[in-house]
Amino acid sequence: MARDLRYVPPGALVEVTCRTIQGRFLLRPSRELNEIVYGVLGRAVELWPGVGVVAFTFLSSHFHALLVPEDAEALARFMGFVETNLSKEIGRLHDWPGSMWGDRYHSVIVSHEPEAQVERLQYVLSQGVKENLVRRPEEWPGPTSTPQLLHGGPVTGVWFDRSAEYEHRRRLRRKGESRRIDRYEHARKTEFDLAPLPCWAHLSPAKRRRRAAELARQCETEGRCIRQTTGKPVLGVKRILRFHPHHRPQTLARSPRPRFHAVEPAVRAALELIYRKFVDAYRDAAAELVAGRKAHFPAHSFPRPMPFHRGQLARAP
């Protein structure tokens, strides 16, 4: 099945999700993993300040994040950096060779409607609660923006500078030394502040925290109702941490992914119409490019790469 074109209107709220390969618990919470995730996100924000991080929660097998990128290219570069570096660092931590992701990240545009944006923020906050893993969003032991959403303050992590570490090892080898390099010898602290939810941007930080707290209490209440209906107990933090990072669940919960998150049908229909026009313009430009003519791709899109040309190489004189 072909992937959707990467279409992101400037300044739109985007929900990003990504799952580990085979749903394995490679993101299982731990002190080392948490500081890696926070550090990689912090470094990504430093490199691409045009991407605002609104909220995120990393469960053991997947993560959800709400981002406000300036365009599709910024989102692609930001997520490429995050996925690549998390795969390297967590692979090193859990002795997992190769990529840890089952597929490229998936992004869904959230409409400008306040109800749609608040609903997606509540969904990110509910991660771990709706699965009966913990009772309250604040109890999730893995990487999450819940403390900052409820109480304010920056997200802090540790960025491991592997380039500096590599150069250090080379210098030691040239000198004939075999000293072990400490894990934190080439690490530094990172910090970044969460971006406000677009529909809450006009509110003061205190009001935004109060509204986020209300959403968290709603998640707690809904989780309690689910447990009363199903009779399933909460798994709890201790049992969550007992799973091995290589653990593979027997089944994976999957659901259809919409192209847009919207409340009103008319808004969803308008977004679908805009996207179809974008796709038509892109395909027309791609056809012109393949034919060797000048192509005009729609704004904020990735031009199609030119096809491989099997020509005869010129011989050197």
Contact 100, 20 (CB under 8 A): yes
- Cα separation values, 311 from 28, 196, 305, 314, Å: 50, 53, 17, 9
Q: What are the DSSP calls for 195-235, one per residue?
A: PPPGGGTTS-HHHHHHHHHHHHHHHHHHHHHHHHHH-PPP-
**b/e code 14-43 from CB counts within 10 Å (16+ = b):** bbbebbbbebbbbbbbeeebbbbbbbbbbb
Pair 230, 83 in one domain? yes
Pair 214, 296 in one domain? no
- Mode of pairing for the β-strands spanning 13-19 and 62-69: antiparallel
Residue 315 has pLDDT above 70, yes or no: no
In a domain, 67, yes or no: yes
Domain boundary among 215, 238, 263: 263
Pair 184, 285 in one domain? no
**Virtual CA dihedral for 196, 116, 17, 232, nearest 10 degrees?**
110
What's the rounded mean pLDDT across residues 238-246?
Answer: 96
| Dihedral class, residue 87 (left if φ above 0, else alpha if ψ from -120 to 50, else beta) | alpha
For the entire predicted model, the pTM comes to 0.91
Percent share of the chain, pLDDT over 90: 72
- Mode of pairing for the β-strands spanning 155-160 and 187-192: antiparallel
Pair 277, 249 in one domain? no
Choose between 283 and 312: higher pLDDT. 283
Residues 6+ apart with CB under 8 A from 71: 8, 10, 50, 300
Number of domain units in the chain? 2
Alpha helices in the chain (DSSP H): 31-47, 72-94, 114-125, 146-151, 162-174, 205-230, 237-242, 265-290
| Dihedral class, residue 49 (left if φ above 0, else alpha if ψ from -120 to 50, else beta) | alpha
How confident is the model over 4-51, as pLDDT tens digits? 788 898 889 999 999 999 999 999 999 999 999 999 999 999 999 999
In a domain, 156, yes or no: yes
Pair 177, 280 in one domain? no
Pair 201, 288 in one domain? no
Pair 294, 199 in one domain? no
Q: Which domain holds residue 59?
A: 13-263
How confident is the model over 49-61, as pLDDT tens digits? 999 999 999 999 9
In a domain, 143, yes or no: yes
Contact 255, 64 (CB under 8 A): no
**DSSP character at residue 170:** H
Phi, psi dihedrals of residue 33, rounded to the nearest 5°: -65, -40
Pair 193, 275 in one domain? no
**Helix and strand tally (H, E) in the chain?**
8, 7
pLDDT score, position 2: 59
What is the largest distance, in Å, between two alpha-carbon atoms of the chain? 83
In a domain, 199, yes or no: yes
In a domain, 80, yes or no: yes
In a domain, 101, yes or no: yes
Q: Domain with 100 in it: what CATH number?
A: 3.30.70.1290
What's the rounded mean pLDDT across residues 153-162?
Answer: 95
Pair 165, 294 in one domain? no
Pair 196, 241 in one domain? yes
In a domain, 309, yes or no: no
pLDDT score, position 316: 54
Phi, psi dihedrals of residue 94, rounded to the nearest 5°: -105, 10
Q: Taking the alpha carbons of 15, 77, 71, 51 in that order, is the dihedral positive or negative? A: positive
In a domain, 211, yes or no: yes
Pair 190, 200 in one domain? yes
Contact 297, 285 (CB under 8 A): yes
Pair 133, 195 in one domain? yes
Report the mean per-residue pLDDT for the chain. Answer: 92
Contact 38, 157 (CB under 8 A): yes
